[in-house]
Amino acid sequence: MQFTFPCKRKRCYNKNINFTPFPNCENGDRVQGRFTGLSVEIIDPSQAKSLYDNGCFGKGSKSRGGPASGDEDEVLFLGMEESCFLAFYLDILDITCTTGGIMDFQMFLKLAMDLNERFVENLACYLYLKSKNWVIKSGIKFGGDFLIYKQSPSLYHASFLVIVQVSSDLEYYKSKNLKGVQRVAETSDKDVLLLTVNKPKDIATPKELKETKITETIVRRFNYLTFVQSKQQ
Catalytic residues: 149, 157, 190
Residue 105 CA to its chain's centroid (Å): 19
Contact assessment for residue 43 and residue 186, using Cβ atoms and an 8 Å cutoff: no
The reply to whether 213 sits near another protein by the rule CB under 8 A is yes
- The answer to the question of residue 174 lying near another protein (CB under 8 A) is yes
Shortest distance, CB of residue 100 to another protein, whole angstroms?
28
Toward another protein, which CB reaches closer, 47 or 182?
182
Alpha-carbon distance 21 to 57, whole Å?
Answer: 10
Beta-ladder partners of 196: 165, 215
Stretch near another protein under the rule CB under 8 A, chosen from 59-67, 70-78, 100-108, 144-152 = 144-152
Candidate segments 16-24, 33-41, 94-102, 105-113, binder of another protein by CB under 8 A: 16-24
Query: Burial, 54: exposed, middle or buried (Cβ in 10 Å; 0-12, 13-18, 19+)?
Result: middle
SS3 (DSSP) at 71: coil
What DSSP designation does 169 have?
B
Q: Applying CB under 8 A, does 168 fall inside the site for another protein?
A: no
The stretch among 30-38, 69-77, 96-104, 209-217 that binds another protein (CB under 8 A) is 209-217
For residues 66 and 49, give the distance between their C-alpha atoms in angstroms, rounded to a whole number: 7
Considering only residues 68-107, where is the footprint of another protein by CB under 8 A?
A: 85, 89-90
164 contacts 125 by C-beta, under 8 angstroms: yes
Q: By three-state DSSP, how is residue 76 classified?
A: strand
* Contact positions vs another protein (CB under 8 A): 1-9, 17, 19-22, 85, 89-90, 124-125, 127-134, 148, 150-151, 160, 170, 173-175, 178-179, 182, 189, 193-194, 196, 198, 207, 209-210, 212-232
